[in-house]
Chain A
Amino acid sequence: MQNSITIVLSGEAGQGLQTIEDLLTKAISDSYYIFSASEVMSRVRGGNNTVTFRISEEKVFSFRYEIDFLFLLNDHGLSRLKQRITPNTRIFDQDKFAGDKSVPKDSNMIILGFICGMIGLDKSAVVDLIKSHFSSKAAERISENEREFIVGFDQGFAEPRLNLIKSSKNGTYKLLDGTQAVGIGALAGGCNFVAAYPMSPGTGLLTFMADHAIDYGVLVEQAEDEIAAINMVIGAWYAGARGLVTTSGGGFSLMQEAVSLAAMTETPCVIHVGQRPGPATGLPTRTEQSDLNLVVYSGQGEFPRIVLAPGSLEDGVLLSQKAFYFADKYQIPVFILTDQFYLDAKGQMERLTLREDALRQQIVKTDQDYQRYTLNASGISPRGIPGNGTGFIKADSDEHDEHGMITEDFEMRIKMNDKRLRKENGLLEEYVSAELIGPSEHRHLIVGWGSTYGVLKEFINTRKTADTAFLNIKQVYPLHSELLPYFKKAQSVTVVENNAKGQLADLLVLKLGVRIANRVLKYSGEPFSIEEIEKRLLEVL
């Protein structure tokens, strides 16, 4: 485990925890390594929500369970947090701040100030941050916030200083959450059309794209239901746009017929599925990785698809950008598969410089002889769009001939089915390689995908044993045999997943024929903490 300090804020919905999280992560990020994750109940007011901040000596993207400093914005949070409290936990309740009668003791700004003071941040820099954050508010409100912040800061500053190592230099990293990473990647992939029906935790991406609609020219439509949303996105791609739909497992279940439609009409389609625990409505605001099978097997019939699962913020950008490239090139549905923990977790990302290759559209100008479904060796028929040339773009969900006309000719059926399936050969040549962390010569191999990246990477990096490595699989479908050597070297393979069955483990067995010795699974609705990973992996390694 990395040296780190965990600060937890506990309050109820509507108390402004989100505001403190935004400001504090920003303020800390300029000087320290920071990670934050919020944990909320499925309600608009009341209940108990927490934000966990982890300030670390190294770059960090994982959650620590034990609390060093706990701030209670109300008193009914304590019982839920009992297991996270140790004899060393310092607990601050509102009475701590009751001394100065000039400010309300339940002020968020006083708590923000206290923490900033305790860490020893630059007071004036944080004041500037507050001013810009609240710039739309009345001047009176801003100065009130500032005054309350300073009262808190001075109290915190009087506390024993936290012994933290500063990060190399200000502004090295971009602070963002997983949702924003996927959103930036989508923009970098040329996404200019978004349709979605709101559903946690997929809604954040819809909001992000709506926020940036004007700046980047993205048409954002809230559809009447998920079925409409994905059909709109397919229509947009057909017309020449680059569409994205975002949802969660429940909403995605409604979209399955259209996934099959995209495959049959060979219309590209990018689908973001932010997973949460099921079945049915499940735990709406919690996390799980239980929809891998759902996306891999969704839709009637047999057809190629790609499933990408980012685990780091950098991969959120890079894989989401790549999703649009893959969709356009292979004219297939491409999934970006994330989860609530990944989407809502905030951390620091390398300031990547993205390439523009992914933006180069694979659309052809048509002539009068154009046929939408030309049979060829790659299976990729040149894709035209209406109005770009003199040809007609005839797309059909029935089995069709090269023109796009409905056919019931069995020979043509076989030719077309083969053509569609043939695309998988090409796309496997561009398989997104897995990332191995730890020694390439390893006795034990830990395998994970998606949001377990941060915690498993931390486990390997801090344990520094010569015999254990972590393989993060980024393209979880289709799997490539290039992964086999990693497995062959290992005496034992342990797959870690945030679900109850080990869905990736099953897929690895089925598709690559590897042996999986252990499955470390969690399906409470919470992410793995670093402590739990250490404990459970040491039990099996």
Chain B
Amino acid sequence: MHSYESDFPIDIAWCPGCGNFGIRTALIQALQELSIDPTLLVFAAGIGQAAKMPQYVNANYFNGLHGRALPVALAIKASNPKLTVIAEGGDGDMYGEGGNHFIHNIRRNPDITHLVHDNMVYGLTKGQASPTSQIGFVTSVQVDGVINVPINPLALALTLGATFVGRAFSGDIPETKEIIKAALQHRGYAFVDILQPCVSFNKINNFGWYKSHSYYLDQTRNTEDINQAFALAQDTRKMALGILYQSKGRPTYEDEVNIYKEDATPIVSRLRDIKGINAFIQT
């Protein structure tokens, strides 16, 4: 079994009790149970506490700019479709700074897994509102409370035609692991919003709040029912956990892009022949 643990000691920068620990455990278990070879796995991450995940999982990673994990993930997968690619980060990273990429990568349906740690607050910058912060949430910047309507990432993803939309809760490692496994096994863009308490900066949406504001979906239900998925995503008073929607069989970005139609060889493995260019100059 692959360990996903580094040979050298690592110094984890998360607060004690942070939901990220639970997500890390669930993620590593999911990767192990699916026997994914870490040398063929790449994390693309941005900036934030959640985006530090690749630092603590022994595999390949590109830890880039705040908000920009998805374009990097898309390009890695498109350049070498043999790799398993996970884009991972927090709600500020993926829905705020990187919101445009979130929208457009859903449209592309690349065969990547998108894990977003959603704690409804900014952690690394110390407690400002995030795109998912609830109205009235008081911070050092939103001193009279948040006035903007929070983004509904699941409804947004469904609207844009996401082929896999799930929600997990970091407090439940076995269930989170199962949802991540399903996302990794999905062929196409698999999006999982992972609810997570922030013990340092979000005293409102804490472990108990998430527990009492969420419930698990019946796993035998028909996950291909888009209307039911919409209804579930729209209900933010009590949040559904599990796979809200999955559509199997839609071609991925890598299936559809013209250069892979006839020849599945990854572009990183193709050789360019200078003779062809010289012939072009001669014509």
**A residues with CB within 8 A of B:** 174, 184, 187-188, 190, 192-193, 195, 213-219, 221, 223-225, 227-229, 231-236, 238-241, 243, 257-258, 261, 265, 267, 317, 349, 351-356, 359, 385-387, 389-398, 403-406
Q: Are B274 and A354 in contact (CB under 8 A)?
A: yes
Answer whether residue B243 sits at the interface, using C-beta atoms and an 8 A cutoff. no
- Residues from chain B with a CB closer than 8 A to the CB of A213 are 258-259
Partner of A188, one of B62, B263, B271, B277: B277
**Cβ of B124 to closest chain A Cβ, rounded Å:** 11
* Whole-angstrom CA separation of A86 from B8 in the bound complex: 79
**Cβ of A161 to closest chain B Cβ, rounded Å:** 31
Answer whether residue B63 sits at the interface, using C-beta atoms and an 8 A cutoff. yes
Q: Are B267 and A386 in contact (CB under 8 A)?
A: no
Given A213-B259, A387-B40, does the pair A403, B8 have CB atoms closer than 8 Å? yes
**Cβ of A435 to closest chain B Cβ, rounded Å:** 20
Q: Are A354 and B267 in contact (CB under 8 A)?
A: no
- Residues from chain A with a CB closer than 8 A to the CB of B13 are 406
Given A217-B259, A217-B270, does the pair A235, B55 have CB atoms closer than 8 Å? no
Answer whether residue B100 sits at the interface, using C-beta atoms and an 8 A cutoff. yes
* Whole-angstrom CA separation of A262 from B83 in the bound complex: 21
Given A224-B100, A224-B104, A228-B71, does the pair A240, B268 have CB atoms closer than 8 Å? yes
**Cβ of A300 to closest chain B Cβ, rounded Å:** 11
* Whole-angstrom CA separation of A406 from B70 in the bound complex: 21
Given A217-B259, A227-B68, A387-B82, does the pair A192, B270 have CB atoms closer than 8 Å? yes
- Please tell me which stretch of B73-81, B129-137, B167-175, B231-239 contacts chain A, meaning at least 4 of its Cβ atoms lie within 8 angstroms of it: B73-81
**Cβ of B201 to closest chain A Cβ, rounded Å:** 21
Q: Are A397 and B65 in contact (CB under 8 A)?
A: yes
Annotate B260-283 by CB proximity to A: 1 below 8 A, 0 otherwise.
Answer: 001100011011101011101111
Query: Can you name 25 A-B pairs with beta carbons within 8 Å?
Result: A174-B283, A192-B272, A193-B75, A193-B267, A219-B257, A221-B74, A221-B257, A223-B71, A224-B100, A225-B100, A228-B70, A231-B64, A234-B64, A236-B76, A239-B80, A261-B64, A261-B68, A351-B281, A393-B60, A394-B63, A395-B63, A396-B63, A403-B8, A406-B13, A406-B52
Interface residues on B, range: 35 or more
* Whole-angstrom CA separation of A19 from B227 in the bound complex: 51
- Residues from chain A with a CB closer than 8 A to the CB of B283 are 174
Q: Are B79 and A359 in contact (CB under 8 A)?
A: no
Partner of B272, one of A216, A219, A225: A216
Q: Are B47 and A397 in contact (CB under 8 A)?
A: yes
CB-based nearest B residue for A350: B281
Q: Are B72 and A386 in contact (CB under 8 A)?
A: no
Q: Are B63 and A398 in contact (CB under 8 A)?
A: yes
- Residues from chain B with a CB closer than 8 A to the CB of A351 are 281-282
Answer whether residue B103 sits at the interface, using C-beta atoms and an 8 A cutoff. yes
Q: Are A386 and B71 in contact (CB under 8 A)?
A: no
Q: Are B42 and A386 in contact (CB under 8 A)?
A: yes
**Cβ of A512 to closest chain B Cβ, rounded Å:** 34
- Interface residues in B223-264 by Cβ distance below 8 A to A read 257-259, 262-263
Q: Are B274 and A356 in contact (CB under 8 A)?
A: yes
CB-based nearest B residue for A317: B281
